[in-house]
Chain A
Amino acid sequence: MRYIQEYRDADAVRRVLDEIHRITTRPWVLMEICGGQTHSIIRYGIDQLLPDQIELVHGPGCPVCVTPLELIDMAIAIASRPDVIFTSFGDMLRVPGSKKDLLQVKAEGGDVRVVYSPLDCLKIAKENTDREIVFFGVGFETTAPANAMAIYQAHRQGIGNFSMLVSHVRVPPAIEALLSSPQNRVQAFLTAGHVCTVMGYWEYEPLAERFGVPMVVTGFEPLDIVRGILMAVRQLEDGRAEVENAYPRVVTREGNTQAQALIKQVFTDCDRKWRGIGPIPNSGWCLRPEYAEYDAALKFDVGDLEVTESPLCKAGLVLQGRLKPDECPAFGKECTPRHPLGAPMVSSEGACAAYYQFGRYSK
């Protein structure tokens, strides 16, 4: 646990927090982009240790939360087929579709399996040549290299019974959409450290300049997060709007160029719908035409799906930082972690689930 424990050191965190308290002179609204950061903030109670003037708004960087309902329903339809072994990262299994989730598909006899890497699917495919292996390829830029590698390897090894239901999204177009909204309240961003590990942070420079908003590349341990907040607040107090790197032990400006090359080889830009937010042009990646045979959405005809989002769920406003989870009329009533209407109530990374727990405590 070396190189992790050091970033959870109470004294080091306290010193940075003291500095934040010292330099903060007025209210600021910061958004942490990534669900992993939200998780850390709630997990360590960082938000309670900040000055009252600093408001953290939880961003849309949670793949569980923004994967569109259509795709969840399509995943459920494909996973229900007897000839399919459906594989996924663990926390997608509990995301509610229109009628059920993937765990229920499993309970009804579907072969749904949790994998830790998409490359595990290739092994399953080789061991089950009479079945179709489908991987739910969700996530941001972070999971894209491994997913691209699985497609690339399947192609190279001539594995024909593997395909991927791809729902990749990218952070910069989402930030642009948020900042372009007339209702935007966010004054600075903590960008997602893992995403920038892959992609670097040069993409954010034109955004910071165009919108005059500071952006700080931020990691996930408590010390990383308070450092990111400190650098963002300092920029706000100084009236600067630059891209800064508070996660230099991992992230470079260029990022991982080999991973980027692999992503480019397998994926191409496309429009994507974000659950709760709506369509954002050029905000995602799809498989290139030469890899179309690995596209599960083309391989399986699931017919017309009737997609119905709960009319009570205001997840979109929450994900844009325009509504606090506990201001949603369904919060804690129709919508609870055990019976989530929207994805942010599902995982501990979701803002609604986090608020639900803390609300329970304050009562």
Chain B
Amino acid sequence: MAQDKSETEGFSAEGWTCPLPLRDYPAIVMAHGGGGKLSADLVRHLFLPLFANPALDALDDQAVIEIDGARLAISTDSFTVSPLFFPGGDIGSLAVHGTVNDVAMAGARPLYITAGFILEEGLAMDALGRIATSMAESCRRAGVQMITGDTKVVDRGHGDGVYINTTGIGIVPDGVHIAANRAKPGDVVIVSGEIGLHGITILAAREGLGFEADLESDTAPLNGLVAAMLEVTREIHCLRDPTRGGLASTLNELAASSGVGIEIDEAAVPVPPAVAAACEMLGLDPFYVANEGKLVAILPEEHAEAVLERMRSHPLGRKAAIIGRVVEEHPRVVVAKTGIGGRRVVDMLVGEQLPRIC
């Protein structure tokens, strides 16, 4: 059926064969959206070859294009989260912050945002009202304007209440060239604060695990923090917000894009006690847990202390820390020095992070 339809629409599916890494999965599994290896495969082996162009091929979290001398950063993201409301935020604030942050990770100043809503029949009007209000509040906080939008409704049972897609546009200041492929040996790796809060909060709220009281999502717009960092120096090489897939996936992406190794000191990575305890109980690794208000920065060592100091004076960077450095050895591989002096490879996740039996 699908093939007939695409042919009548003038797109020839003829000649398309499922590329090798995708053949193991005849159907989409959850991990294709999990931000790990399967997500990367989908992009690399299906979408990239079909749409290849320089802005897309850079494979950053946002595209940077030049129009009449102005460099624009554009990013789009879809948000599905259950529950819709959680400690520290809701799907509305998440949808604004997520896209604002992706634009900001190019060093850009986010200016405008759009929203597409897919609503499920039966969604309480009150809930939608709260979500929209929260989005407006988040836009104000981030200093962006919502300039256009769209609404669709699907049958009851065909959506988790509401899905939101947002697209953001921002301007990249002169002299700022931040990209995933710019990490150089000798650079320092900084994380802006405690990791794992968003993912564990959502998991706890969803599963009723009983330690919700200690936890709140870290969802926040990071453009202010990025602007503050760029005031110190424009020589920041990489910025990325470690959302799904967590810190480990982000570091792996940066190592792969830049063709360098990254070495981190596990003890230096700030993990809040509640996240550490929850991960301990569930058999999860905080390095792979999602964040929504943190960034990873890679920059030359000579600017590291000054940038760190500036970050720590910003409300969203108070617990910023240097967690490691970029090395020439083991290109494309992230290695962690463990608390007891051993070393381990911090790989990308193959599938979703699943709780272990024992």
Contact = CB atoms under 8 A, between A and B. Distances in A.
Interface of A: 1, 4, 8, 10, 13-14, 34-36, 39, 42-49, 63-64, 89-94, 103-104, 106-108, 114, 116, 138-140, 142-143, 194, 222, 337-339, 347-349, 357-358, 360-361
Contacts of B280: 1, 4
B358 A45 contact: no
Given A1-B277, A8-B339, A10-B339, A361 B333 contact: yes
Interface stretch (B22-30, B124-132, B219-227): B22-30
Q: Pick the most buried of A45, A47, A92: most chain B CB atoms within 10 A of its CB.
A: A45
Listed from nearest, the 10 A-B pairs whose CB atoms lie closest are: A45-B342, A90-B354, A90-B355, A357-B345, A89-B357, A13-B340, A107-B27, A107-B29, A44-B338, A337-B350
A91 B355 CA distance: 6
Which secondary structure dominates chain A's binding surface? helix
Contacts of B29: 103-104, 106-107
A89 to B, nearest CB: 4
Given A107-B28, A338-B350, A360-B347, 18 more contacts: A1-B273, A4-B280, A8-B340, A10-B341, A45-B340, A45-B344, A49-B340, A49-B341, A49-B342, A91-B355, A92-B357, A104-B29, A116-B207, A139-B358, A143-B358, A337-B347, A358-B345, A361-B335
Contacts of B339: 8, 10, 44, 222
Interface string B20-44: 0100111111110000011000000
Contact of A1 (B31, B276, B335): B276
10 contacts: A1-B280, A43-B338, A46-B342, A90-B355, A90-B357, A103-B30, A222-B340, A338-B37, A349-B356, A361-B333
Interface residues of B, number: 38
B282 interface: yes
A1 B281 CA distance: 11
B358 A140 contact: yes
Contacts of B26: 104
Nearest to B337: A45
Contacts of A339: 24
B272 to A, nearest CB: 10
A36 B283 CA distance: 10
Interface of B: 21, 24-31, 37-38, 207, 209, 273, 276-277, 280, 282-283, 330, 333, 335, 338-345, 347, 350-351, 354-358
Contacts of A194: 358
A194 B345 CA distance: 26
Contact of B351 (A8, A36, A94, A139): A94
Contacts of A140: 358
A108 B26 CA distance: 10
A34 B357 contact: no
Nearest to B31: A103
A34 to B, nearest CB: 7
Nearest to B336: A45
Contact of A94 (B27, B354, B358): B354
A104 B358 contact: no
Contacts of A90: 283, 354-357
Given A63-B357, A138-B357, A139-B357, A48 B342 contact: yes
A361 to B, nearest CB: 5
A104 B27 contact: yes
Contacts of A44: 338-340, 342, 344
Nearest to A39: B356
B358 A63 contact: yes
A46 B342 CA distance: 6
Contacts of A49: 340-342
A63 B343 CA distance: 26
A243 B152 CA distance: 67
A64 B357 contact: yes
